[in-house]
Structure 1
Amino acid sequence: MLGCAAVALVTPSAGAEVPGYQAKVDARLGSLKRGVAAGPFKSDWDSLRAGYRAPEWFRDAKLGIFIHWGVYSVPGFANEWYSRNMYVPGNTAYKHHVATYGPQSKFGYKDFIPLFKAEKFDPAAWVDLFAEAGARYVVPVAEHCDGFAMYNSDLTEWDAAQMGPKRDVLGQIATAARSRGLHFGLSSHRAEHWWWYYMGRTYDSDVKDPRYAGLYGPAAPMGLPADKPDHWPDGNQLQEWMPPSKAFLDDWTARTTELIDTYRPELIYFDWWTAAPMFQDRMRDTAAFYYNRSRGWGGQGIITYKASQMAEGSATFDMERGKTDALKLQPWQSDTSVSVHSWGYAKDDTYRTPQSLVSDLIDIVSKNGNLLLNVGPKSDGTIPDEVVTVLKGMGGWLKVNGEAIYGTRPFKFFGEGPTKSGQVRVGGQVEQSAIKGYTPADIRFTTKGNTVYALGLARPADGAVLIKTLYAGTPYLDAPIKSVELVEGGKIDWAQSPTGLKVTLPAARLADPYPYVLKIRTR
């Protein structure tokens, strides 16, 4: 195992170049302490669990847009981990970087920043597209693991307002979203920055230059086997990693409170390394502070998390590129990307189809979840044509069938059919097992008032549908079925029998690759 003495490690404060940095951090920590003390939420799991409820807007919204956009979009190679992988000898990104840009001692990640011009970035146009796609909330990444903040920060000079685009990207997206009536959230991946650039310290690279410590530092040893720099422990092994210093934790806390107070997000997504044991106290403090602040603004802030950093019931659970196979009693979220191999823009990536994503949205909503769908814009601020096509395709379906999605609640049983959901490992990425598609026997349910919606995830070739759950006398309905309609239009025949609800779809609609929706009334 590596120790601190294995490499000459220089770890100046992350914001050392900022005048009055320590005083600003101290002021933020003091504000946090006062915000927690003000209540009603306290910094303990019982208090957080007792007071937290996902707000109704979130339960009604169902679809949000995640945005991974940063300096990593300039090389646009492989995935958004380029900033780290370009410093890992043997990694394909390392080889690509040397071949394309030269050695890391001459051209480092910092040298991409002047090329990150965002000259075509139009936040209003972005939000118009997201609204056309049917999204009801927007969650840009405020800071990825690379350490370059996409907002105007008082705690670092390495941000988009002072370098690269020279615009407060996060703030401009927030303004555009709110003016369009969409809810605004943000995500923080700052925690991983503690060890992100460590491999760049093991040979001659610009990571070792103290002039760039504000971007690359601390670049600390991970405490992992030296011969396995890409080994990632599971949630039970995070204690094996080299714990971050108090200075780094203070910086993380200060940056988080800065984001909360400056941008007033309605949702915050915390990435996985905040599940490391040394963040536990910080997560409780941050949650209490954020929830109290949100109450002061007249709302309930949402924290979404995907590991073990929050106690169950104190925030909203998120599954990355995965879904549950069961109806969950509490609202939850799944996040995935339109692009298959990367969250940020990458040349020659492959993309999901709008039909497959609509099917996943239906499956998630039927189980009391929301879908946070990611897009990765190019470095100039344009969204790839492939992504635009997918978003517009989804939006077209939702314009017709959205009544079965928005504002709905789970039925007594989420659905029926053979296809299972979950998470599988593919090349180091977590991918949805349902990408391969659903069968005509896969049906999902949602409800609104006295209406039950049955959503067929694939259309049968002969048009014959049998919904076994809704057989005559089923305990899942309060009364016999009175009417069945196809939401997209077209005459259908139906009958409720002891074996199920039998429906015949119009022959003219059977070639449609999108799911269909049946509107079922019992009174």
Structure 2
Amino acid sequence: MKFFIIGLLTTALVSCGTNQKKETKKNTPQKDSVKYTRNWESLKKHKTPDWFLDAKFGIYCHWGPYSVPAYETEWYAHWMYVNKDNPEAKKGKAHKIHDYHVKKYGPLDKFGYKDFIPMFKAEKFDAAEWADLFQKAGAKFAGPVSEHADGFAMWDSDLTKWDSKDMGPKRDVMGELSKEIRKRDMKFIATFHRHWLFGWYPTWDETTDASKPEYAGLYGPKLKKGDNKMPKSKHQLDNGDQSYYPVADKDFNDEWLNRLKEIIDKYNPDLVWFDNKMDVISEEHRKEFLEYYYNYADKNKQEVVSTYKFYDFAKGSAIYDLERARMSEKKDFPWLTDDSIDWNAWSHISNPKYKSTNRLIDFLVDVVSKNGAVLLNITPRADGTIPEPVKERLLEMGQWLKVNGEAIYGTRTFEIYGEGDAKVVEGHLSEQKNADNTSKDIRFTTKGNVLYATVLDWPQEEELVIKSLKKGNTLNKNRITSIQMLGNEGDLKFHEKEDGLHIVLPKKTGKHAFCFRIN
């Protein structure tokens, strides 16, 4: 009997695989957590909390081992394995990154992505300093990328040794940031890309380290090239994309879900954000995540938000999120857009092209006027420092919000989002198609009996004319008693005329969008 028991224990330990540090019990909702059940109709009953409707602006960051090479893109971990003979190399910079990697670091069987992890030391990372910057920038919610497509967890995980506590920085990045962010009365968020990992690395290619079983905990399960494929998401098929990508098996689905449950149990995030391509995960696992998260929060009297892209969750069960994009019109539902401070990449790279502060503020104002919120990505270096141009832009945004925040935070939409010449091009990754705004572009928000009109550039004329508020208009049913410009003392003269509301402009103060409080 003794030998039989030892044999069973040995088998159990071997079955844990390379991905786990130790055997852990599965996370399951408590039996009394029954407010939400695992079906879309039940999950749609979850209400968007007021804190999210009021917050409008958050910050997150792509930061991990991919920050070490700092070359071209946060997708370095993928493209470094794609040589010129790979069909994917047709996508532009692919084999350029492969050639760069081999030339600088060596062949992929000698120096793979795993070898960047010891170089990712984060020796200058200061969670308090980051949280101070986020607060000064005016963010109301913030957090790191919990796990990117590279498979490296940025928290102290019991499910894998490939995490920031055991390797690289040897620090619990999420734990440190969650404490410092919450100290400053901001909401803490977790963002999650792990579903991209299935097929991210060429685990079938025996000429690379990605094929070796001892690294499966980082690189993902061993696949056959071209195996386990299915059409892309409904959104992509609807838009004519007939390419294919892998569909995850049960083990990968379970690991995806258990990592999320661990994040929830350890860090209580107020918002869990997902990148697209989540339909590689089974619908049942996606529903189980929302069931677990919403019930966990309900039990702890915490108001939470989850997001999704395209068709990954049922409409109404979470907040719809866009990527590098915005809406062209006001929506009757709250939504989010995630955008990067760098036009070129989501992580720190050697040749950044940062957006101007003016562009970032105009984007925020436009999004808020249409019932949206902005999640702005920033790009820390591998050592944990934040580039000075990024800091400068965040602090300038914070200064603007200090003066004009009452036209943003806690506001709701007007009858129309605004007026002006700017035409917004909608669609995934469409932001570069949208031109800068001018003084003709005015955006509206409301709070009680106050209407805010924000003009996105300073008019050349002596008067600001708001055509939508012309004499006898049906949009504003209240009599205007006074008007002020935020950041200026005193009331402004105004006249309601047939062609619009004329506001006599004061002396210009400030450099970006200009907010007028119409009482």
TM-score if structure 1 supplies the norm length? 0.89
Q: Closer, same or farther in 2 for the Cα pair 1:406/1:37, shift >3 Å?
A: same
Tell me, in whole angstroms, the C-alpha distance in 2 between the residues paired with 1:231 and 1:412: 35
Instruction: Report % sequence identity.
Output: 40
> What does residue 306 of structure 2 align with?
303
Query: Is 2:184 the partner of 1:186?
Result: no
Opposite residue 463 of structure 2, the aligned amino acid is A
- In the TM superposition, residue 275 of structure 1 has moved relative to its aligned partner by 2.7
Tell me, in whole angstroms, the C-alpha distance in 1 between the residues paired with 2:339 and 2:236: 20
Instruction: Report if the CA contact (8 A) 2:65-2:117 is conserved.
Output: yes
> What does residue 263 of structure 1 align with?
267
Instruction: Report if the CA contact (8 A) 1:326-1:414 is conserved.
Output: yes
> What does residue 52 of structure 2 align with?
58
Q: Secondary structure in 2 aligned to 1:212? A: helix
Instruction: Report if the CA contact (8 A) 2:342-2:353 is conserved.
Output: yes
Q: Which moves more between the two structures, 485-494 or 366-375?
A: 485-494
> CA-to-partner distance for each residue in 1:73-94, whole Å, 9 max, x for gaps?
0001111100111001132211
> CA-to-partner distance for each residue in 1:146-196, whole Å, 9 max, x for gaps?
001000111100000000000000110001001111100101111111111
- Unpaired segments ≥5 residues, structure 2: 1-13, 85-93
1:252-331 counterparts in 2 under 5 A?
252-276=256-280, 278-331=281-334
Opposite residue 460 of structure 2, the aligned amino acid is A
Opposite residue 170 of structure 2, the aligned amino acid is K
Tell me, in whole angstroms, the C-alpha distance in 2 between the residues paired with 1:65 and 1:14: 36
Instruction: Report if the CA contact (8 A) 1:471-1:500 is conserved.
Output: yes
Tell me, in whole angstroms, the C-alpha distance in 2 between the residues paired with 1:222 and 1:497: 69
- In the TM superposition, residue 232 of structure 1 has moved relative to its aligned partner by 13
Q: Closer, same or farther in 2 for the Cα pair 1:231/1:42, shift >3 Å?
A: closer
Instruction: Report if the CA contact (8 A) 2:273-2:306 is conserved.
Output: yes
> What does residue 519 of structure 1 align with?
517
1:159-198 counterparts in 2 under 5 A?
159-198=163-202
Q: Secondary structure in 2 aligned to 1:458? A: coil
Query: Is 2:482 the partner of 1:478?
Result: no
Q: Closer, same or farther in 2 for the Cα pair 1:361/1:221, shift >3 Å?
A: farther
The one of 63, 66, 83 aligned to 1:69? 63
Tell me, in whole angstroms, the C-alpha distance in 1 between the residues paired with 2:32 and 2:83: 48
Opposite residue 210 of structure 1, the aligned amino acid is P
> What does residue 501 of structure 1 align with?
501
Q: Closer, same or farther in 2 for the Cα pair 1:463/1:223, shift >3 Å?
A: farther
Tell me, in whole angstroms, the C-alpha distance in 1 between the residues paired with 2:243 and 2:283: 12
Instruction: Report if the CA contact (8 A) 2:36-2:294 is conserved.
Output: yes
- In the TM superposition, residue 210 of structure 1 has moved relative to its aligned partner by 1.7
Opposite residue 79 of structure 1, the aligned amino acid is T
Instruction: Report if the CA contact (8 A) 1:195-1:221 is conserved.
Output: no
- In the TM superposition, residue 344 of structure 1 has moved relative to its aligned partner by 1.0
> What does residue 466 of structure 1 align with?
465
The one of 190, 195, 209 aligned to 1:206? 209
The one of 349, 353, 368 aligned to 2:352? 349
Q: Closer, same or farther in 2 for the Cα pair 1:235/1:493, shift >3 Å?
A: farther
Q: Closer, same or farther in 2 for the Cα pair 1:499/1:197, shift >3 Å?
A: same
Q: Closer, same or farther in 2 for the Cα pair 1:168/1:235, shift >3 Å?
A: farther
Tell me, in whole angstroms, the C-alpha distance in 1 between the residues paired with 2:351 and 2:119: 20
Tell me, in whole angstroms, the C-alpha distance in 1 between the residues paired with 2:15 and 2:189: 28
- In the TM superposition, residue 433 of structure 1 has moved relative to its aligned partner by 3.1
Instruction: Report if the CA contact (8 A) 1:14-1:218 is conserved.
Output: no
> What does residue 18 of structure 1 align with?
20
> What does residue 402 of structure 1 align with?
405
Q: Secondary structure in 2 aligned to 1:410? A: coil
Paired residues in the alignment total 491
- In the TM superposition, residue 508 of structure 1 has moved relative to its aligned partner by 4.0
Query: Is 2:431 the partner of 1:431?
Result: yes
1:28-43 counterparts in 2 under 5 A?
28=26, 31-32=27-28, 34-35=29-30, 38-43=33-38
Q: Secondary structure in 2 aligned to 1:187? A: strand
1:131-142 counterparts in 2 under 5 A?
131-142=135-146
TM-score if structure 2 supplies the norm length? 0.90
Instruction: Report if the CA contact (8 A) 2:149-2:195 is conserved.
Output: yes
Tell me, in whole angstroms, the C-alpha distance in 2 between the residues paired with 1:287 and 1:114: 35
- In the TM superposition, residue 479 of structure 1 has moved relative to its aligned partner by 2.0
Q: Secondary structure in 1 aligned to 2:266? A: helix
Tell me, in whole angstroms, the C-alpha distance in 2 between the residues paired with 1:131 and 1:399: 11
Opposite residue 517 of structure 1, the aligned amino acid is C
> What does residue 88 of structure 2 align with?
none
> What does residue 90 of structure 2 align with?
none
Q: Closer, same or farther in 2 for the Cα pair 1:282/1:506, shift >3 Å?
A: same
- In the TM superposition, residue 325 of structure 1 has moved relative to its aligned partner by 1.0
Tell me, in whole angstroms, the C-alpha distance in 2 between the residues paired with 1:482 and 1:264: 46
- In the TM superposition, residue 505 of structure 1 has moved relative to its aligned partner by 2.0
- In the TM superposition, residue 274 of structure 1 has moved relative to its aligned partner by 1.0
- In the TM superposition, residue 507 of structure 1 has moved relative to its aligned partner by 4.7
Tell me, in whole angstroms, the C-alpha distance in 2 between the residues paired with 1:272 and 1:14: 29
Q: Closer, same or farther in 2 for the Cα pair 1:514/1:311, shift >3 Å?
A: same
> CA-to-partner distance for each residue in 1:50-83, whole Å, 9 max, x for gaps?
x211111111111100111100000011111001
Tell me, in whole angstroms, the C-alpha distance in 1 between the residues paired with 2:439 and 2:244: 47
Instruction: Report if the CA contact (8 A) 1:36-1:288 is conserved.
Output: no
RMSD: 2.4
Tell me, in whole angstroms, the C-alpha distance in 1 between the residues paired with 2:51 and 2:445: 17
Q: Secondary structure in 2 aligned to 1:272? A: coil
Tell me, in whole angstroms, the C-alpha distance in 2 between the residues paired with 1:217 and 1:335: 27
Instruction: Report if the CA contact (8 A) 2:404-2:515 is conserved.
Output: yes
> CA-to-partner distance for each residue in 1:391-429, whole Å, 9 max, x for gaps?
01101111111111111111111111121224467xxx5
Tell me, in whole angstroms, the C-alpha distance in 2 between the residues paired with 1:356 and 1:405: 16
